[in-house]
């Protein structure tokens, strides 16, 4: 975000706080920063509803139009204490500050604040309050829940209008909303942050896994099924117990510490070790769709995007140093195929290199980075260098994907790891007859399947391509005399493994077509008296209608499109 | 077990204890009962190896051949204490006894024992010691580990010989042994009682699930994916917290009690409740292959048979009372198809009726039992009545399956439940426009997939039928000149989705065929110069060799057999 925009938003949040204090003097101030998308301010002792936002906005408008100046002053901690004597949250923040304490004043409103701010409120070109939310003080669920008001601000009215239009479109595509409307999944209070995939959502989920399983055959991956619960000793070996314990769900079994796995890598190291390995068996590509659990804080849980249980299209590749370059090229091609050819996402890559704190051999790092770079260049992939942003155990390539909406996601990742094979004491017998330590690649194409599915729902606005659609074909009858032929057609589609449903309710044909459209079913076949007498089909797709299609031929065409993932 | 056999085995265990005390006077006596398969005796302070069993057997033989009499006497608790003053485990047992205390004496050996026993040791027709094991005193892992000696005894030498032959055959089929030899799965100390399925085991596992998924399409089941962790409140509603808590793994999250699910039924009730249901939507059949966890005690964990994590081919059917009969018939047919047609198991059924303690309406129970019985009779299923052995929430049908080895397993189950739908307050709108409570059926065909796989491994002695075999076809070359054609054939098989591997190592053809046989691969194709020049295949299957097979035709035949599950 540019500096001026940040100032505008931060200043808008002060104007918000000033307005609140004017209308609701009893409200207590929490924090009010600028964010990537706008700003917010948290208040205690403020009992308002969405419909009050307009009133608050009007008050803000008044203040902004007065061209109020923002001025900074420094006071001693003692003076600050006095100024904030009625603001218990600010006093808590003050305790952590040292030296001179800075305040910003705008009109009658003064706030403990480092700034920077705009000089005058007229620089706030356009702003809007967006919504209310509950937020724990300092993000800690042990603290009190405050009232958060979200808003946004821009340099110009046009920029704000653009942003609001995007918000509106995004809201129509919101995967949580569509997930409910299309009966794909639900959330239940009994298992916070974990989706319950309903039958239709499960079809999409399983189709995504089956698609990868088919690709895995071609790419030489071998799937395994591993436990969920592991003894602490495993996590100590992998280093998770030392570095990741707070993100894991832990429990005691037989008086020993166990954790639900947050990642699959250690289990795959155990399987690798089960038999002696020769260089001839490498690269060994082990894939796992097992459920992973991470203890995300409750307040951070969002739809399918931030969940506590998920499956990754996780694979670990064990290989020799000499195989790195070829394997990376193969992975780049695989990723390219999945995103570009199948899902039609645009993407760019990032190469993250050795950070300041790293482990392992410097020469190996340099060679590995060179190899990753060469693979990217050879495969003509645009990429940004992120110097020093690799993991401590190895360099990595991340892919940023842009959906049809222009939003960026980091999904696929390819990480080299020189460390875990050593920690698990993995070896292979080389051509020289000696024992060597293999290199390991952690890689995911979708990333978390749940999150990927959320992105797909928004990408397609719920209208899944034929091969993924939970219901691929809906047959609707015009009247009861058409039921017999409709049933025969249904049977033929189902026998060809096309997910097909029949709607022969005594409703109007218009209503039935509308219902199918609301469920975003790709192909709707209408069967009336003419179709029955001719034994032909009328087919609607993407608002186009084709008549007199031969059932057998059309089924073949549909199957063909499904298998080609069109 | 008949009474006489029980006496023989119990007496043999006394003869074992007498022999141990003679050879190892320092050993302390634990318990020594008769079992279904023989007997055991536990000892403390006994440090022996398998090779010592012969010596102990010889000592037992001596005692048995002396026609020792077994005589019973009663003593006071005070006298018993004196007699047992050097046996601390027996003293512990004595504490729990009241009134007259009975002892059995045979020769110089006397033991605290209720009996009954044989009159004379000559009644012990034949016996054998089988193996050593560790066993916690009274089965409690908090107690000391004792040395357990297992043996068996029969009325005649012939019966013993028969039993030992069966044991030998069973050992060759032991799924834990075969699982290792065939690289199907392993166990790791980091996750006790949970199999790590290796790539080949995972193929079988996934084939079993895919087989059911195909059947589910025909049978109208809808698959869902549900969480692993649930708040205590869910288990309180279902009753698991009150009745099953010790069998669940529990943990604290955000200061609330959670448990890893041991069963899927409550999750499916939550999904049912997500939308209003009409009688038109019933029966609603919800299936789930999610991982279940049960806190089995560590000492009870055995291979794939007794595990802490497993998936069931679990489904819950919500239906109206009037639909019970038809649905049960459908389930019986489904079960019959799976076991009789696909897996070739023989079976019989058990109908378990209302127990003394039951909940719900007596009239409903009676109707339901009548309906279950009628379904069994109508479908011509042999069944035993198990009066009073139903669950407290409804009557059930269990199926006992006999493998080719004559061993019985209880796998499939169909349980009516009138209770859970009430506890979860489930309803549907009936034809009368009023709200009704649905009935629920819990049903599994395989039961735990892990256990079922263990049974299949033993049933097939590791030689899986073609459709399940991890590697279906192995191509072996006679010499290096055959590699090119072999590669072409490999490619064709793989493109037809036949799981095929090529063995072109520079080994003898005999060795390569033997290796394939050891891995129990159903079809072995040998390619020598003759095959290359004719572009034909030589195929070995079940020790029969066919020559000059046309590759395309043979691939088609193989694919056809796979799809027909031959």
Query: What Rg value do the Cα atoms of chain A yield, rounded?
Result: 29
Q: Report, as an integer, the average pLDDT of B24-29.
A: 96
A487 Cβ contact partners less than 8 Å away, ≥ 6 residues apart: A502
Give the torsion sign (CA, A175, A179, A181, A187): negative
| B1 band by pLDDT with thresholds 50, 70 and 90 | low
B404 Cβ contact partners less than 8 Å away, ≥ 6 residues apart: B344, B459
Residue A308 with chain B: CB contacts under 8 Å: 229
**Any chain B CB within 8 A of the CB of A280?**
no
Residue B286 with chain A: CB contacts under 8 Å: 199
Closest in B192, B201, B227 to A191, CB measured: B227
A199 and B223 in contact by Cβ < 8 A?
Answer: yes
A201: left (phi over 0), alpha (psi -120 to 50) or beta: alpha
Q: At residue B106, what are phi and psi to the nearest 5 degrees?
A: -140, 110
List A117, A294, A443, A499, catalytic entry: A294
Closest in B202, B230, B234 to A224, CB measured: B202
Burial A167-193 (b: 16+ CB within 10 A, else e): eeeeeebbbbebbbebebbbbbebbbb
**Any chain A CB within 8 A of the CB of B202?**
yes
**Which residue in A140, A183, A191 has the most chain B C-beta atoms within 10 A of its own C-beta, making it the best mutation to test that interface?**
A191
Maximum CA pair distance of chain B?
Answer: 92
pLDDT tens digits, residue range B498-531?
999 999 999 999 999 999 999 999 999 999 999 9
Q: How far is CA A317 from CA A320, A433, B5, B155, in A?
A: 10, 22, 57, 59
The verdict on whether B294 is a catalytic residue reads yes
Q: Report, as an integer, the average pLDDT of B367-393.
A: 89
Residue A283: asked if its preceding bond is cis (omega within 30°), the reply is yes
Residue A214 with chain B: CB contacts under 8 Å: none
pLDDT for the residue numbered B405: 67
Query: How far apart are alpha carbons B148 and B136 in whole angstroms?
Result: 9
Mapped onto helix, strand or coil, the DSSP state of residue B335 is: helix
| B407 band by pLDDT with thresholds 50, 70 and 90 | confident
The verdict on whether B326 is a catalytic residue reads no
Query: How far apart are alpha carbons A189 and A191 in whole angstroms?
Result: 5
Closest in A190, A228, A230 to B228, CB measured: A228
**Chain centre distance of CA A505:** 39
Beta bridge partners of B417: B440
A196 and B225 in contact by Cβ < 8 A?
Answer: yes
**Any chain B CB within 8 A of the CB of A207?**
no
Tokens in use for B306? 């007794």
Q: Of B327, B270, B261, B561, which is closest to residue A260 (Cα–Cα)?
A: B261
Query: How far apart are alpha carbons B233 and A265 in whole angstroms?
Result: 34
Most confident of B332-341, B342-351, B425-434: B425-434
Beta bridge partners of B324: none
Query: How far apart are alpha carbons A204 and A185 in whole angstroms?
Result: 11
pLDDT for the residue numbered B348: 87
The verdict on whether A314 is a catalytic residue reads yes
pLDDT tens digits, residue range B124-162?
999 999 999 999 999 887 899 999 999 999 999 999 999
Q: Where in chain A is the domain with CATH 3.40.50.800?
A: 473-563
H or E stretch including B312? strand B309-319
Token pair 């993932």 in the structure block, residue: A565
List B314, B403, B417, B503, catalytic entry: B314
Torsion of CA B83, B87, B88, B89, to 10 degrees: -110
Query: How far apart are alpha carbons B371 and B348 in whole angstroms?
Result: 18
**Any chain A CB within 8 A of the CB of B230?**
yes
Tokens in use for A111? 């706030």
pLDDT tens digits, residue range A340-382?
889 988 888 999 999 988 877 888 889 889 989 998 998 888 8
Length of chain A: 566
Fold of the CATH domain B3-172: 3.30.980
Q: Of B498, B496, B500, B499, which is closest to residue B487 (Cα–Cα)?
A: B500
Query: How far apart are alpha carbons A306 and B554 in whole angstroms?
Result: 50
* C-alpha distance from B14 to closest chain A C-alpha (Å): 34
Residue A270 with chain B: CB contacts under 8 Å: 188, 190, 196
pLDDT at B344 over 90: no
Query: How far apart are alpha carbons B478 and B508 in whole angstroms?
Result: 7
Nearest residue in chain A measured CA to CA from B232: A190
Beta bridge partners of A29: A43
Closest in B141, B188, B222 to A270, CB measured: B188
pLDDT at B404 over 80: no
Give the torsion sign (CA, B10, B16, B22, B24): negative
Tokens in use for B535? 């572009």
Q: Within 13 Å, how many C-alpha atoms sit on residue A11's CB side?
A: 32
pLDDT tens digits, residue range A157-205?
999 999 998 888 888 899 999 999 999 999 999 999 999 999 999 999 9
pLDDT tens digits, residue range A238-266?
989 988 899 999 999 999 999 999 999 99
B309 and A230 in contact by Cβ < 8 A?
Answer: no
Nearest residue in chain A measured CA to CA from B196: A226
Torsion of CA B328, B332, B338, B340, to 10 degrees: 180
Residue B217 with chain A: CB contacts under 8 Å: 494, 497
B190 and A250 in contact by Cβ < 8 A?
Answer: no
Nearest residue in chain A measured CA to CA from B236: A190
pLDDT for the residue numbered B117: 95
Query: How far apart are alpha carbons A19 and A1 in whole angstroms?
Result: 26
* In contact, B525 and B475? CB cutoff 8 Å: yes
* In contact, A13 and A35? CB cutoff 8 Å: no
Query: How far apart are alpha carbons A238 and A232 in whole angstroms?
Result: 10
In 10 A of CB A122, how many CB atoms? Answer: 13
Q: Of B231, B246, B225, which is closest to residue B294 (Cα–Cα)?
A: B246
Nearest residue in chain B measured CA to CA from A248: B253
A514 Cβ contact partners less than 8 Å away, ≥ 6 residues apart: none
Q: Of A394, A366, A372, which is closest to residue A385 (Cα–Cα)?
A: A372
A537-541 and A523-527 beta bridge pairing: antiparallel
Query: How far apart are alpha carbons B331 and B334 in whole angstroms?
Result: 5
Beta bridge partners of B399: B349
pLDDT for the residue numbered A1: 65
Q: What is the mean pLDDT of chain B?
A: 93
Which strands, in side-by-side order, build the sheet including A109-112?
A70-75, A101-106, A109-112
pLDDT for the residue numbered A344: 87
Q: Where in chain A is the domain with CATH 3.30.930.10?
A: 183-226+261-459
Size of interface A-B (CB pairs under 8 A): 138
Q: B96 vs B299, which has greater pLDDT? A: B96
pLDDT at B195 over 80: yes
B228 and A271 in contact by Cβ < 8 A?
Answer: no
pLDDT for the residue numbered B403: 74
**Any chain B CB within 8 A of the CB of A133?**
no
The verdict on whether A316 is a catalytic residue reads yes
Nearest residue in chain B measured CA to CA from A234: B190
Angle between helices B3-23 and B53-65 (to 10 degrees): 110
A450 Cβ contact partners less than 8 Å away, ≥ 6 residues apart: A195, A304, A307, A310, A311
What CATH number does the domain located at A183-226+261-459 have?
3.30.930.10
Beta bridge partners of B538: B526
H or E stretch including A435? strand A435-436
**What is the DSSP code (8-state) at residue A314?**
E
pLDDT tens digits, residue range A498-551?
999 999 999 999 999 999 999 999 999 999 999 999 999 999 998 899 999 999
| A115 band by pLDDT with thresholds 50, 70 and 90 | confident
Q: Which has the minimum average pLDDT: A140-144, B94-98, B197-201?
A: A140-144
List A240, A277, A306, A316, catalytic entry: A316
B428-429 and B383-386 beta bridge pairing: unpaired
H or E stretch including B181? helix B175-181
Query: How far apart are alpha carbons B509 and B513 in whole angstroms?
Result: 6
Nearest residue in chain A measured CA to CA from B270: A188
Give the torsion sign (CA, A380, A382, A383, A384): positive
Residue A224 with chain B: CB contacts under 8 Å: 196-199, 202
Residue A497 with chain B: CB contacts under 8 Å: 217
List A200, A277, A293, A396, catalytic entry: A396
Beta bridge partners of A278: A429
Exposed / middle / buried, residue B545 (Cβ in 10 Å: 0-12, 13-18, 19+): exposed
Query: How far apart are alpha carbons A450 and A197 in whole angstroms?
Result: 10
pLDDT for the residue numbered A358: 83
Length of chain B: 566
The verdict on whether B312 is a catalytic residue reads yes
Maximum CA pair distance of chain A?
Answer: 92
Q: Report, as an integer, the average pLDDT of B66-91.
A: 93
Query: How far apart are alpha carbons A193 and B238 in whole angstroms?
Result: 21
Query: How far apart are alpha carbons B9 and B35 in whole angstroms?
Result: 8
Fold of the CATH domain B473-563: Rossmann fold (3.40.50)
Query: pTM value?
Result: 0.84
* In contact, B286 and B435? CB cutoff 8 Å: no
Mapped onto helix, strand or coil, the DSSP state of residue B346 is: strand
Q: Where in chain B is the domain with CATH 3.30.980.10?
A: 3-172
Q: How far is CA B32 from CA A269, B12, B42, B101, in A?
A: 43, 10, 6, 17
List B396, B443, B451, B512, catalytic entry: B396
Q: Of B521, B502, B403, B518, which is closest to residue B464 (Cα–Cα)?
A: B521
Closest in A188, A227, A497 to B191, CB measured: A227
Q: What is the mean pLDDT of chain A?
A: 93
* In contact, A318 and A203? CB cutoff 8 Å: no
Residue B298 with chain A: CB contacts under 8 Å: 254
**Which residue in B183, B199, B217 has the most chain A C-beta atoms within 10 A of its own C-beta, making it the best mutation to test that interface?**
B199
Residue A291 with chain B: CB contacts under 8 Å: 228, 290-291
Torsion of CA B158, B159, B164, B167, to 10 degrees: 150
């Amino acid at each position: 975000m540019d500096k001026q925009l940040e100032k505008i938003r931060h200043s808008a949040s002060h104007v918000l706080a000033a307005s609140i204090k004017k209308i609701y003097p009893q409200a207590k101030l929490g924090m009010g920063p600028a964010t990537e998308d706008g700003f917010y301010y948290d208040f205690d002792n403020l009992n308002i509803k969405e419909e009050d936002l307009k009133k608050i906005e009007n008050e803000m408008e008044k203040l902004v139009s007065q061209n109020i100046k923002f001025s900074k002053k420094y006071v001693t901690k003692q003076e600050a204490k006095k100024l904030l004597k009625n603001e218990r949250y600010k006093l808590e923040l003050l305790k952590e500050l040292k030296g001179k304490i800075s305040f910003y004043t705008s009109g009658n409103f003064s706030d403990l604040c480092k700034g920077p701010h705009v000089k005058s409120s007229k620089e706030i070109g356009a702003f809007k309050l967006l919504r209310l939310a509950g937020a724990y003080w300092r993000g800690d669920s042990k603290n009190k829940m405050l009232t958060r008001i979200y808003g946004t601000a821009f340099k110009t009215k046009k920029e704000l209008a653009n942003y609001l239009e995007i918000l509106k479109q995004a809201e129509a595509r919101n995967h949580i909303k569509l997930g409910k409307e299309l009966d794909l999944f639900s959330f239940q209070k009994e298992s916070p942050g974990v989706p319950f995939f309903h039958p239709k959502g499960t079809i999409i989920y399983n189709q995504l896994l089956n698609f990868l399983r088919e690709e895995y055959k071609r790419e030489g991956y071998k799937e395994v099924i591993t436990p969920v619960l592991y003894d602490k000793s495993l996590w100590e070996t992998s280093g998770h117990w030392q570095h990741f314990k707070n993100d894991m769900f832990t429990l005691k079994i037989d008086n020993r510490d166990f954790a639900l796995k947050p990642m699959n890598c250690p289990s795959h190291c155990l399987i690798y070790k089960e038999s002696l390995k020769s260089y001839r068996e490498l690269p060994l590509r082990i894939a796992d769709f097992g459920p992973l659990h991470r203890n995300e804080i409750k307040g951070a849980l969002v739809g399918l995007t931030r969940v506590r249980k998920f499956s990754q299209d996780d694979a670990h590749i064990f290989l020799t140093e000499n195989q790195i370059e070829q394997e990376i090229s193969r992975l780049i091609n695989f990723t390219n195929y999945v995103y570009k050819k199948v899902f039609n996402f645009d993407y760019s890559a990032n190469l993250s290199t050795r950070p300041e704190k790293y482990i392992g051999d410097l020469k190996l790092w340099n060679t590995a980075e060179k190899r990753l770079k060469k693979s990217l260049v050879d495969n003509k992939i645009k990429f940004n260098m992120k110097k020093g942003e690799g993991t401590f155990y190895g360099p990595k390539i991340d892919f940023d994907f842009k959906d049809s909406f222009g939003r960026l996601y980091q999904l696929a990742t390819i990480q080299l790891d020189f460390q875990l094979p050593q920690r698990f004491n993995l070896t292979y017998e080389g051509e020289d007859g000696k024992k060597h330590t293999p290199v390991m690649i952690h890689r995911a194409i979708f990333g978390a399947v749940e999150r990927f599915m959320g992105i797909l729902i928004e990408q397609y606005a719920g209208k899944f391509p034929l091969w993924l659609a939970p219901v691929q074909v809906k047959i609707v009858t015009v009247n009861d005399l058409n039921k017999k032929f409709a049933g025969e057609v249904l049977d033929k589609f189902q026998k060809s493994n096309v997910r097909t449903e029949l709607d022969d309710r005594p409703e109007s044909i218009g209503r039935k077509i509308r219902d199918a459209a609301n469920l975003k079913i790709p192909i709707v076949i209408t069967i009336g008296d003419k179709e029955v007498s001719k034994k032909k089909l009328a087919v609607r797709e993407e608002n186009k209608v084709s008549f007199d299609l031969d059932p057998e031929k059309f089924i073949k065409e549909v199957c063909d499109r499904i298998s080609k993932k069109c």
